[in-house]
C-alpha cells in the first residue's frame, strides 16, 4: 500500500462562458482538500472562476500505443477541414 | 487614555498579531510535509502580511508621528509589540501549526465580522477586505484539524497534545482592558468578551468532529496585548528585523 495521497487532476474555468481547462495535477487526501489545494496552487493569480477536481484514477485515457489507429486515419482527409471555404469578412474570427 | 491613544494600541494589537503569525507560518516555507500544504501556508502568510500593512499603516497615521507600517514592523523592540501570545508560540509539528492557526482564525473571523460595522470607516474597510481571506483560512484550518484529529492514532495524539499546549493562550483574546473600554464606547470595536460564546460554539463543534477533547481548565496566559511577551518574540524579531537593523533604510 502506498503512503501517498491520491493524485487529482485539476480543471479551471478562466471566465464565465469558457470551458474548464486542464491546468495540472496535485496530491490530496480527499475531494474537499483537493479543491482547497487547487485553489492555493492554481488560482493564486486570479486565474479562475470555477474549479473541477477529478481523481486521476477515474480518468480513462487513450494509450500512447494506440496513437496510429486512433489518429492517423484523420491525417489524409483534408476535406474534413473547412479550409476550402471563403469566410465572409462579416463572419469575423472563426 | 484618549480615543486616539486607545485606537493606536488597538491597531497595533491587530497588526502585530497578523505580522507575527505571518512570520511564524512563513518559517514553514520549503519545509511543509507536502508541496500543496507548503504553498497553502505561504499564501496564508502573504494574506496576513497584507492585512498587517493595512493595520500598521493606519496605526502610524493615527499616531501622527510619521511612522510607516515598515517602521512599526522593523524598528520596535519586543516590549512595544502588542500581539497575542498565541501567535508567537513555536510552530511545533505541522499539526500544531494548524491547530494554532485554527484557534486564531476563528477569533479573527469573529472580530472582523464585528469590525465591519465599526464607526470608524477606515477600520470597517480593512475588516471588509480581510474577512474574505480569513473565511478561507478558517475553512482550511478547520478541515485540517478535523482530518488530523480524526485521523490515525498518532495524528490524533499529536493534535490532542497541540490543543492542550495551546489552549491556555486562547483566553487572552477575550480579556478586555482600558483600551477596549474606550473603543467600545466610541463604537469602534467590540468588547472582546462578547466574542467568547460564539467562539466556544465554533471551536467546540470542530473539536467534536475532530474527536478532540477541549481542556477544562480555563487558565489564560496573558500579557501580549500590553507588551509582556514570552522569550520567543525576541528571536522572531531578531530574524525578522535583522536586515533593517544592519542596513538601515535598505530597500529592494
pLDDT, tens digit (0-9, with 9 covering 90-100), for A20-70:
999 999 999 999 999 999 999 999 888 889 999 999 999 999 988 888 888
pLDDT of residue A90: 87
A28 touches chain B (CB under 8 A): yes
| Among candidate residues A42, A50, A46, the one with its CA nearest the CA of residue A25 | A42
To probe the interface with B, which of A36, A44, A53 has the most B CB atoms within 10 Å?
Answer: A36
Contacts of B133 in chain A (CB under 8 A): none
Mean predicted confidence (pLDDT) in A68-74: 84
Length of chain A: 94
β-bridge partners, A13:
A20, A50
Q: How far is CA B193 from CA A10, B190, B204, B232, in A?
A: 43, 8, 17, 27
Interface contacts A/B by beta carbons within 8 Å: 28
On whether the CB atoms of residues A50 and A12 are closer than 8 A, the answer is: yes
ipTM field = 0.73
- Grid cell locating B142: 478547520
**What are chain A's domains?**
7-91 (3.10.20.520)
Angle between helices A31-42 and B35-63 (to 10 degrees): 60
Could you tell me which residue, A62 or B11, shows the higher pLDDT?
B11
Contacts of B139 in chain A (CB under 8 A): 36
The 10 Å CB-count burial string (b at 16+, else e) for B198-212 is ebeebbeebbeebeb
Residue B47 pLDDT > 70, yes or no? yes
Kindly tell me the burial class for residue B144, based on how many C-beta atoms sit within 10 Å of its own C-beta (0-12, 13-18, 19 or more): buried
Residue B183 pLDDT > 70, yes or no? yes
Mean predicted confidence (pLDDT) in B82-88: 98
B5 touches chain A (CB under 8 A): no
Q: How far is CA B192 from CA B82, B103, B185, B197, B205, in A?
A: 15, 15, 13, 11, 21
DSSP H helices in B89-194:
94-115, 121-149, 153-166, 178-185
Cβ distance of A36 and B143 shorter than 8 Å: yes
pLDDT of residue B181: 97
Contacts of A28 in chain B (CB under 8 A): 36
Residue B147's closest chain A neighbor by CA? A29
Phi, psi of B55 (to 5 degrees): -65, -45
Looking at every residue in chain B, the average pLDDT score rounds to: 97
Contacts of B40 in chain A (CB under 8 A): 36-37, 40-41
Residue A35's closest chain B neighbor by CA? B140
B136 touches chain A (CB under 8 A): yes
B43 touches chain A (CB under 8 A): yes
On whether the CB atoms of residues B176 and B193 are closer than 8 A, the answer is: yes
The CATH code belonging to domain B3-246 is 1.20.1260.10
Length of chain B: 252
Distance (Å, whole) CA B85 – CA B225: 8
A37 touches chain B (CB under 8 A): yes
Q: What's the gap in Å between the CA of B40 and the closest CA on chain A?
A: 5
Cβ distance of A40 and B43 shorter than 8 Å: yes
Contacts of A41 in chain B (CB under 8 A): 36, 39-40
Cβ distance of B36 and A44 shorter than 8 Å: no
Q: What's the gap in Å between the CA of B39 and the closest CA on chain A?
A: 6
HEC profile for chain A?
Answer: CCCCCCEEEEEEECCCCCCEEEEEEEECCCHHHHHHHHHHHHCCCCCCCEEEEEEHHHCCCCCHHHHHHHHHHHCCCHHHCHHHCCCCHHHCCC
Residue B138 pLDDT > 90, yes or no? yes
Q: Would you tell me how many other CB atoms lie within 10 Å of the CB of residue B219?
A: 8
Mean predicted confidence (pLDDT) in B69-96: 97
Mean predicted confidence (pLDDT) in A61-82: 83
Distance (Å, whole) CA B167 – CA B216: 10
Give the list of residues 6+ apart from residue B130 with CB closer than 8 angstroms, or none: B47, B51, B54, B112
Distance (Å, whole) CA B14 – CA B180: 13
Mean predicted confidence (pLDDT) in B194-222: 96
pLDDT of residue A67: 85
Amino acid at each position: 500500500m502506498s503512503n501517498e495521497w491520491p493524485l487529482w487532476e485539476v480543471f479551471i474555468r478562466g471566465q464565465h462562458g469558457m470551458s474548464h481547462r486542464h491546468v495540472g495535477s496535485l496530491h490530496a487526501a480527499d475531494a474537499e482538500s483537493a479543491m482547497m489545494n487547487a485553489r492555493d496552487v492554481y488560482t493564486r493569480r486570479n486565474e479562475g472562476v470555477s474549479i473541477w477536481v477529478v481523481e486521476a484514477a477515474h480518468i480513462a485515457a487513450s494509450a500512447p500505443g494506440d496513437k496510429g489507429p486512433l489518429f492517423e486515419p484523420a491525417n489524409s482527409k483534408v476535406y474534413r477541414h473547412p479550409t476550402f471555404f471563403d469566410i465572409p469578412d462579416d463572419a469575423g474570427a472563426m | 487614555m484618549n480615543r486616539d491613544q486607545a485606537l493606536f494600541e488597538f491597531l497595533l494589537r491587530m497588526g502585530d498579531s497578523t505580522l507575527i503569525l505571518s512570520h511564524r507560518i512563513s518559517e514553514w516555507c520549503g519545509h511543509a510535509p507536502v508541496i500543496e500544504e507548503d504553498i497553502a501556508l505561504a499564501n496564508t502568510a502573504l494574506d496576513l502580511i497584507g492585512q498587517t500593512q493595512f493595520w500598521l499603516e493606519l496605526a502610524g497615521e493615527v499616531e501622527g508621528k510619521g511612522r510607516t507600517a515598515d517602521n512599526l514592523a522593523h524598528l520596535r523592540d519586543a516590549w512595544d509589540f502588542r500581539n497575542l501570545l498565541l501567535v508567537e508560540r513555536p510552530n511545533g509539528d505541522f499539526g500544531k501549526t494548524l491547530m494554532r492557526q485554527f484557534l486564531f482564525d476563528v477569533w479573527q473571523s469573529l472580530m472582523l465580522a464585528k469590525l465591519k460595522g465599526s464607526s470608524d470607516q477606515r477600520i470597517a474597510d480593512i475588516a471588509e477586505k480581510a474577512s474574505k481571506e480569513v473565511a478561507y483560512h478558517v475553512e482550511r484550518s478547520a478541515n485540517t484539524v478535523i482530518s488530523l484529529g480524526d485521523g490515525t492514532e498518532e495524528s490524533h495524539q499529536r493534535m490532542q497534545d497541540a490543543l492542550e499546549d495551546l489552549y491556555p493562550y486562547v483566553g487572552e483574546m477575550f480579556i478586555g482592558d482600558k483600551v477596549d473600554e474606550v473603543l467600545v464606547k466610541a463604537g469602534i470595536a467590540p468588547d472582546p468578551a462578547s466574542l467568547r460564546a460564539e467562539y466556544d460554539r465554533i471551536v467546540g463543534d470542530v473539536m467534536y468532529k475532530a474527536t478532540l477533547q477541549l481542556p477544562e481548565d480555563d487558565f489564560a496566559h496573558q500579557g501580549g496585548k500590553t507588551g509582556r511577551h514570552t522569550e520567543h518574540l525576541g528571536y522572531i524579531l531578531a530574524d525578522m528585523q535583522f536586515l533593517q537593523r544592519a542596513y538601515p533604510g535598505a530597500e529592494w
